[in-house]
Chains A and B, each alone.
Chain A
């Protein structure tokens, strides 16, 4: 199983497809896993449920997280991740459709690494997504011990 480098938590398949194609278009070919709700995202990160066979594989380099999600909301996923030592160091980028979110402050308080409003305009959207990909996958240097620590634990 190829390592998942980007975990995209997005309930809208169109948005997911646009995101993935935007990354591709900008030649970011890292493996993207799309999960459709918060529960699945946490299952993946904790290697449980349908991801229980996922052992010894490194955690994603970045989690792109929508806020408005079925079952477990993006904010709850963020809260769990940032309060869990093994997951705390994984960069989380909130990608939301709405500028109206009341949770911007809360997201930062919980330790979100980035907060981006998805533009309607596709060009802007594509450039935003690819910038994020570029930044978090190529430019940003993740704390290596955190990743290894978490992988040894899981």
Chain B
């Protein structure tokens, strides 16, 4: 998870809280506004109603006054003229008073002062009506004079005056009420304005706050996006620049992403491959087997396994490139597999090297087998040679010898000499065959490595040789010869040949001086066997170790010419060198080297 998202989340949370708060405050403010407006409206309506009411009241009072005056005027007219026509308005006025009184009672019933005043007014009006009726009745029954006398009492005018006074008071009261009501309505209006203003301010404040938080958030978001973009660029760079082939596959096995390396390999754009089933993408189009492998890999990955396999893709140049391929399932926090990451590492070089190594190992093995077969053949050949060559030789030697024994006296000296040559020739050939077989065997038998004590070995061999050379005088020195690691039988053979040469070529020296020594030089042991014998011409030093090369006449020194070749072969098989120094008549020194014990165990020719 990217570190930026936690900041972003926190920011989101803040914005959410701010937005919800602002919304809540705004809603509340608006509700308040609606409420206040409604109340205001009601109040206004109320106030209006009251004004209408007051006007009606005033009107009705006025009407009642007029009606009262008409009653008086009608009555006077009738009294004076006695004409019934004057009574007409008086009747309608009485009805008027009745109706107005009724309505007025309704209008002022909530006001006890006005109600009381109204009662008083109606009382006065009733009195006025009674007075009028009496005057009308007097005029009808008793004629003009009593009626005029009643009128002259002025009671009607007094009543009218009182009525006016009460009506005036009521009117004054209504005006006062109107004034109060208007004041109330104004106050309400002020309150409403204040409430509207403050609510409006509150809403503006809330919205501003929300806007401020949102702005801050947007800025943070922009920064986070910038960071994300930077991260994305970095990861993209890694993703695209790596040598590995990397991609993303959705849970249905369709390709979502592939990095540049992988796309460049097939020479296509992401758009052209995205959305295809992974096994049908161009990387595997060269081989149905690889497509099947990918299908199988996906099947395993769907089951939650991390798949690792080896696969190959065909490069545009036609080479088959081998990959160490893995397909990794990626799970979400609920543990469901949502993605797969295919990855491929080019292992062609490694694989080629491995194959080459395997090939060369196989070749080596084949060569080894061949060699072994050749060795077996050679063994069989040697066996035949030694058997089949020796048998006729034995016949030659045997019959020539037995001829000499049984019929020697029947031939002359020359005959016996010549037969003697046959015998010795056969004998030498036998020796030659034996030496050759030893030589060939040395090259192929497996070495049996052990620690060989050179001092003891040299002493034992010399003792044996000395026993065969009875009557000769030797000065033999062998000091502090170390252990070496090698094949005891082979080393014995080499030392035997060297020492027997020394013994052979010092024939005639008195004393024969033979020295065996050893020096350690640069990780090697240099052995030397020095004698004071016949020596040799350094000119031919390089021929000394070749098979059948002899630097002396057979008549002088017997031998097959194989001895030193055997020595060389033994030393070479132990990883050493051999060489010789000498001078005719002054003796010879043969040197050979051995690796020091620790290292020689690795030496195999």
Contact = CB atoms under 8 A, between A and B. Distances in A.
A12 B391 contact: yes
A100 to B, nearest CB: 4
A2 interface: no
A62 B361 CA distance: 53
Contacts of B398: 14, 18, 122, 125-126
B397 A122 contact: yes
A126 B400 CA distance: 13
B390 A98 contact: yes
Contact of A99 (B393, B423, B426, B434): B434
B189 interface: no
A15 interface: yes
Contacts of B402: 18, 21, 122
Interface in B389-414: 390-395, 397-402
Contacts of A100: 379, 382-383, 385-387, 437, 441
Please tell me the size bucket of the interface on B: 20 to 34
B391 A14 contact: yes
B427 interface: yes
Contact of A121 (B391, B395, B427): B427
B547 interface: no
Given A99-B434, A100-B379, A122-B402, A18 B395 contact: yes
Interface in B215-235: none
A85 B557 CA distance: 55
Nearest to A11: B391
A53 interface: no
Nearest to B392: A14
Contacts of B400: 122
Interface in B33-51: none
Contacts of B277: none
Contacts of A18: 394-395, 398-399, 402
Nearest to B429: A120
B575 interface: no
Contacts of A97: 386-388, 390-391, 394
Contacts of A61: none
A96 interface: yes
Determine which residue in A97, A101, A102, A125 has the highest number of CB atoms from chain B within 10 A of its CB, and name it.
Answer: A97
Interface in B363-386: 379, 382-383, 385-386
A101 B397 contact: no
Contacts of A102: 379, 383
Nearest to B385: A100
B395 A12 contact: yes
A14 B429 CA distance: 18
A interface SS class: loop
A119 B441 CA distance: 19
A123 B383 CA distance: 23
B200 interface: no
Interface string A3-47: 000000000101100100100000000000000000000000000
Interface in B405-440: 423, 426-427, 429-430, 433-434, 437
Contact of B426 (A21, A68, A120, A123): A120
Contacts of A21: 402
Nearest to B423: A122
Contacts of B426: 120
A98 B394 contact: no
Contacts of A101: 383
B421 to A, nearest CB: 15
Interface in B555-581: none
Nearest to B434: A99
B387 A120 contact: no
A122 B401 contact: yes
B390 A118 contact: yes
Contacts of A126: 398
A101 B433 CA distance: 14
Interface string A80-109: 000000000000000011111110000000
B483 to A, nearest CB: 29
Contacts of A122: 394, 397-398, 400-402, 423
A120 B383 contact: no
Given A120-B427, A121-B427, A121-B430, A14 B394 contact: yes
A124 to B, nearest CB: 10
Nearest to B431: A120
A15 B399 contact: no
A118 B387 CA distance: 10
Given A118-B394, A122-B401, A98 B427 contact: no
A100 B389 CA distance: 12
A71 B441 CA distance: 28
A14 B423 CA distance: 16
B395 to A, nearest CB: 4
A120 B386 contact: no
Nearest to A19: B398
A97 B385 CA distance: 10
A21 B441 CA distance: 34
A112 to B, nearest CB: 17
B397 A98 contact: no
A98 B386 CA distance: 5
Contacts of B427: 120-121
B258 to A, nearest CB: 66
B93 to A, nearest CB: 169
Nearest to B428: A120
Contacts of B395: 12, 14-15, 18
Nearest to A121: B427
Contact of B401 (A14, A68, A99, A123): A123
B401 A120 contact: no
A121 B430 CA distance: 8
A120 B382 contact: no
B408 to A, nearest CB: 14
A14 B387 contact: no
B397 A121 contact: yes
A15 B402 CA distance: 13
Give the 7 A-B CB pairs with smallest separation, nearest first: A120-B430, A14-B395, A122-B401, A98-B387, A122-B398, A98-B386, A18-B398
Given A68-B387, A120-B390, 20 more contacts: A14-B395, A14-B399, A15-B391, A18-B395, A18-B399, A21-B402, A97-B386, A97-B390, A97-B394, A98-B386, A99-B434, A99-B437, A100-B379, A100-B386, A120-B393, A120-B397, A121-B430, A122-B401, A122-B402, A125-B398
8 contacts: A14-B395, A15-B394, A15-B395, A97-B394, A99-B386, A122-B394, A125-B398, A126-B398
Interface of A: 12, 14-15, 18, 21, 68, 96-102, 118-123, 125-126
